[in-house]
Structure 1
Amino acid sequence: MSIDRIQAIKQRLQTLKPHSLEIIDDSDQHVGHASAGGAGHFTVRIASESFNGKTRIRQHQMVYACLQDMMPEHIHALSIHTETVD
């Protein structure tokens, strides 16, 4: 299921036209967390021209907006690292 979730995350983030995109499943580091309820923990590293001129908070909001339909059912926790592209 993790591979499916990673592919779903990648697909949704394509709307930001990423220059680079890395998704890491960190779920194994959080085994036993009762509140997760089977949803995953992920790290997203994304660079996009879409972020140029935007605050870090706005960049993160853009990522969350792309993944909103996956939370909290498929994504329990998300660590986001954004970069602009020159």
Structure 2
Amino acid sequence: MLATDAIRQRILGALPGSEVEVRDTTGTGDHFEARVVSPTFAGKSMVEQHQMVYAPLQDWLKTGELHALALKTYSPEQWKKLGSR
């Protein structure tokens, strides 16, 4: 069973300077949702952004320890345009 902070720390390790929020969606410790706002996403497609977030989590995804991770990714500019800051 994974903790939201463990996932958050892995993402931050790969994407320093990002704003990362992780939520357990089912309470079972294997289904999560993450919102990541990162300057490294500027100019990248959504697929590229998601690949960057999934990369440091591959071992957990392969073992099934992390079964599902829904992602919402934004560059700081995209996040600002949404008026969410």
Tell me the TM-score normalized by structure 1.
Answer: 0.75
Amino acid at match of 2:73: T
Give the paired residue count.
75
Unpaired runs of at least 5, structure 2: 78-85
Tell me the TM-score normalized by structure 2.
Answer: 0.76
- Cα RMSD between the aligned structures? 1.8
Change (3 A) 1:39 1:73: farther
**2:82 alignment counterpart:** none
Unpaired runs of at least 5, structure 1: 29-37
Shift of 1:73: 2.9
Q: Which has the higher strand share?
A: 1
Is the 8 Å Cα contact of residues 19 and 85 (structure 1) preserved in structure 2?
A: no
Higher relative contact order (CA 8 A, sep 6+): 1
Spell out the pairing of 1:1-86 with structure 2 (5 A cutoff): 1-2=1-2, 5-14=3-12, 15-28=14-27, 40-71=30-61, 72-86=63-77
State how far apart, in whole Å, the 2-side matches of 1:68 and 1:77 are.
Answer: 12
